[in-house]
Copies of this chain bind each other. A is one copy, B any other.
Amino acid sequence: MQRLNLEEIGRLAGVSRSTVSRVVNGEANVSNTAKERVEAIIAETGYRPHAAARSLASNRTGVIGLVIPSAAETLFDDPYFGRLILGATSASNDMEMTLALFLFEDESDQQSIIRRVIGSGLVDGVIVTAAEIGNSVPDVLRRANLPFVLVGRPDDETVSPHSIDLDNPGGAMLAAGHLADLGRTRPALISAPSNTTAGIDRHKGFIEGLANHGLDVEDRTAEGNWTEASGQTAMTSLLPLEPDSVFVASDRMAVGALRAIREAGLTCPDDIAVVGFDGLIPADQTTPRLTTVMHPVTEIGHRAATLLKSLLDDPDHPAERVMYESQLMIRESCGHQESAS
């Protein structure tokens, strides 16, 4: 089967390659008659421009990469990455771009993928999710001059001009305020890994929020690793300290915490109030329904892709740091606020 090309379409339509190219790319300065003839032929033949040839000539590929430099195993236990992928995909579809996925299973993967992506012109730019603090990916990208957008707070501000993040400290402060307002006086904290900026920010925000109300976690803290199991373990270890409430830095971990509470024969919210973070778990999947800080992950993924596209279209795009506000979603795991007052 002979591949159709511009020249051939032009021959059939009685115009030149150049004119066909202009029609295909929707450029101005083409007469209506020529345009119609060409479009008819294209519809008739089902012609599609060849992506590689186009890339070679124009130095653009129409592909953006989504780079997730995390251990792959923990990746789909939490709905976070799925939602991020969804948002980025949706935006890519809208922009007629293609999304390529780069997951690293280990350090050597990271090396080989980075090497393959950089300088090969495979992608026009990438979205990178913040991984452990000190991860070298953003820095490598910056030095390679590959346009990229960071999702999450950069651990080093100089490394990336463009980033999209949630106000993690603010969200955690909301949680702290909520618990304080309900009269809880012995709050505990199950934090996310302290080698991630999200983990640090949520931790810090919660402590600060408590301090604003004259409260303190004292030694009622434990660290999880985002998994449900780690939340359960952490909660179990905190129970002897008799907390009357706990802020858990992710919903998935909060589910584990709820189980630990239930298995210890205690009840939520009567004995212990629980606030989660992310809002990615359907409300009716927990008993009681989990009060949590909302994190618009899908929207963030979407925004990351559109911002990246802006960078590609305009190399002088000014540095942009998008910050999403978090909101507290009050459900049942902390008891009733209004009726309590």
Provide the residues of chain B in CB contact with A56, threshold 8 Å. 50, 52-53, 56
Taken together, the copies of this chain in the complex come to: 2
Picked from B72, B100, B109, B121, the residue with its CB within 8 Å of the CB of A52 is B121
Q: Are B93 and A285 interface neighbours, CB within 8 A?
A: no
Stretch of A75-83, A127-135, A174-182 at the chain-chain interface: A75-83
What's the Cα separation between A81 and B86 when bound, in Å?
12
Stretch of A112-120, A308-316, A320-328 at the chain-chain interface: A112-120
Q: Are B72 and A98 interface neighbours, CB within 8 A?
A: no
Q: Are B100 and A145 interface neighbours, CB within 8 A?
A: no
Q: Are B103 and A89 interface neighbours, CB within 8 A?
A: yes
Asked if A183 is at the interface of the complex by the 8 Å CB criterion, the answer is no
Picked from B48, B53, B229, the residue with its CB within 8 Å of the CB of A118 is B48
Provide the residues of chain B in CB contact with A102, threshold 8 Å. 98
CB of A240, distance to nearest CB on chain B (Å): 21
Picked from B1, B52, B229, the residue with its CB within 8 Å of the CB of A55 is B52
Q: Are A105 and B121 interface neighbours, CB within 8 A?
A: no
Q: Are A100 and B101 interface neighbours, CB within 8 A?
A: yes
Asked if A51 is at the interface of the complex by the 8 Å CB criterion, the answer is yes
Q: Are A105 and B93 interface neighbours, CB within 8 A?
A: yes
Q: Are B93 and A48 interface neighbours, CB within 8 A?
A: no
Q: Are B101 and A229 interface neighbours, CB within 8 A?
A: no
CB of A116, distance to nearest CB on chain B (Å): 7
CB of A289, distance to nearest CB on chain B (Å): 12
Asked if A15 is at the interface of the complex by the 8 Å CB criterion, the answer is no
A-B contact pairs, 27 of them (CB 8 A): A1-B145, A46-B119, A47-B119, A49-B120, A50-B121, A51-B61, A52-B121, A53-B56, A55-B55, A66-B101, A75-B82, A75-B86, A76-B82, A76-B86, A77-B79, A86-B103, A89-B101, A89-B103, A90-B103, A93-B113, A96-B116, A98-B102, A99-B100, A100-B101, A228-B285, A255-B285, A263-B287
Known pairs A77-B79, A93-B103, A99-B100. 9 more at Cβ < 8 A?
A47-B119, A52-B56, A72-B89, A72-B90, A75-B86, A76-B76, A93-B105, A229-B285, A259-B287
